Each structure stands twice: as C-alpha cells, then as structure tokens.
Amino acid sequence: MSPLPIEPATDALLVIDVQNDFCPGGALAVPGGDEVVTLINALMPSFACVVLTQDWHPPGHQSFAISHPGQVVFSSVSMSYGEQTLWPEHCVQGSLGAQFHSALNVDAAQLVLRKGFRAGIDSYSAFCENDRSTLTGLGGWLRERGIRRVFLCGLATDYCVAYSALDARRFGFEAVVMAAACRAIDLAGSLEASIARMQAAGVVIHHTLVPGPG
C-alpha cells in the first residue's frame, strides 16, 4: 500500500490515550500497547497539528466495576444513556497510570484533551461522551483550525480509537486509522466488529506505517 500524502494545513494527528494504564503493567493493559509509542513519535513530525487525548477519570467513576457492587470487570450494566462496559479502575486523575507513556513525545502536541472526567458518563470518543450528546469541543476546535481530515492512532483500536474515528465521520471529517500504530483490547470480537463499523462509516483503515510526502 502506498504512503498517504499529508496536507499540513488540513490534516491533524489524533493520538488516543497513550497512557501508562493502557500499556503492559497498567491497570487496563492493552497487549503490545507500548509498541505504538515509537511509531507515533515517528508520525508526529509529518503533521502540523497534533492532538493528544488523555482518559481522565475521577475516583469512583461509573465506568469502574468497583463502583457497581456485585458486578465484575468486563461485564456491562445499563446506564441512563445505554449499555456501559465495566472496566478495572484506570486512568484516575493525577495517578501515575493516567500519565502519558514516558517516551511519548508530548511536546509535539498543540492540544491535550482530557475526557471521561464526569463521574457519571464515560467518554470513549474524543468528540462526544458515551451519552452521545455531551460534546468535548474537539469538533469545533478542529474545524476552527481548518482541519478537514484526522489520522488516528493509539489505544485502544476497538474502543477509544474506533469511537473517535466514528465520531470524526459523524462530525464531518475524513478519518484514517493508522492500524499499525494502534493496539486493541479485543473483548468478545470487539476488534473485528469495530473495524466493520468503521469501514461502513467511511473510515479508511490504513496499514502502511508512516504517511509519506506523497
């Protein structure tokens, strides 16, 4: 597959949740999660606009299984806004697990967007919380900056990357998932299902590692 030409004025790189808790040894470790760091650092110089997202939950967040007595991790409960998967306690505000992987080039980012900070609503997507109506403001920020296409990478492919890519389409952006720079949780076929949903929504799944000059 040929490299993708990048348009610096209208393309942005969205780096999703490259945080310690999603890397090996973390509370919600994604297999091979740390392997994306070098690849993402190598992608960053191709983009004039880089955004990092940071999963940022208060203690006792409603997406944590411990907040639902009797419920186990990876089960799901019905919340006011629909089904919610219950996760191990992760990315608690101010914790080491919530920090970006220490080798990630955080300095390259123009915006660090925190999400999931409302105790009662989870937010997989960088654009919109899981109630599908509370906006993060990222869509407006990108649009005001003249961005028309987002390239996504990070963790996890089947949750926060996929929800962000689907919302990017919903908000009128072109979306390209850099698959080699993502890793998945893959709960009960969630990876395959998320790829099918993304493709149906017009998200391009790109397998070449580094987008080139054209």
Binding segment for Zn ion (CB under 5 A), chosen from 38-46, 51-59, 106-114, 198-206, is 51-59
**Could you tell me how many residues of this chain bind ligand VGL (CB under 6 A)?**
9
Strand pairing partners for 154? 16, 182
Residues of this chain, 126-155, that bind ligand VGL according to CB under 6 A: 155
Nearer to ligand VGL, 16 or 49 (CB): 16
DSSP code for 171? T
Structure tokens at 187: 């709960």
Residue 175: what are its φ and ψ, rounded to 5°? Answer: -140, 130
Joined together, the tokens standing for residue 2 give: 């040929």
The verdict on whether 128 is a catalytic residue reads no
Per-residue binding string, ligand VGL, 63-102, x by CB under 6 A, is ------------------------x---------------
**Cα–Cα distances in Å, from 89 out to 44, 56, 112, 117, 183?**
30, 11, 22, 13, 20
CA 146 – CA 186 distance, rounded (Å): 34
Find which of Zn ion, ligand VGL, none residue 64 binds, CB within 5 to 8 Å per kind: none
Q: Which residues are catalytic?
A: 17, 115, 160
Residues that bind Zn ion (CB under 5 A): 55, 116
